[in-house]
Structure 1
Amino acid sequence: MAMTHQRRLYVAYGPAGAVGTVREIEDGIFAVTMAGADAPVGQYEGIGVAKNALVSHLRPGSDRPEFREH
């Protein structure tokens, strides 16, 4: 029996709504895209690293967003 890997998608929500996404593009590799952007800001190994990368692209002083898996 063949096993398939379902790609994961997380949406980051701040006080005013969605601020970006973290999408698994390969096993363990995640692309970070900020809300309103046409292209990802980068690709990162590991979900924790990708979430931190998204946070680093927010305006200084922004609260850490809530990440919800979709």
Structure 2
Amino acid sequence: MSTTKTLALWVAYGSNGVVGSIRHDEDGYVVTMTGSDAATGTYPSLASAKGALHSHMAPGSDWPRFQEH
């Protein structure tokens, strides 16, 4: 059994509440959208993960507010 240690977690808030999260682990920055059973993808930097999360929001959505937990 393998385990992954989460190094940091950011929650993304849109105008109607939580829209997704970014988890930093040994593999990179993992984006998961709210309501999804699977990660959207893993990215090499926090900036690219934030951009990817925003690109998976509804067209015309404002940039979300990211809060580290």
TM-score by length of 1: 0.87
Which segments of structure 1 move beyond 3 Å, counting only runs of 4 or more? none
Give CA-to-partner distance per residue, 1:18-39, whole Å, 9 cap, x none: 0000001216x11000001011
Matches within 5 A, 1:29-68: 29-68=28-67
RMSD (CA atoms): 1.5
Letter in 2 for 1:13: Y
Q: Percent identity?
A: 51
State the partner residue of 1:24. 24
Letter in 2 for 1:53: A
The gaps in structure 2 that reach 5 residues or longer are: none
TM-score by length of 2: 0.88
The gaps in structure 1 that reach 5 residues or longer are: none
Provide the secondary structure at the position in 1 that maps to 2:43: strand
CA offset at residue 6 of structure 1?
A: 6.5
What is the count of residue pairs matched by the alignment?
65
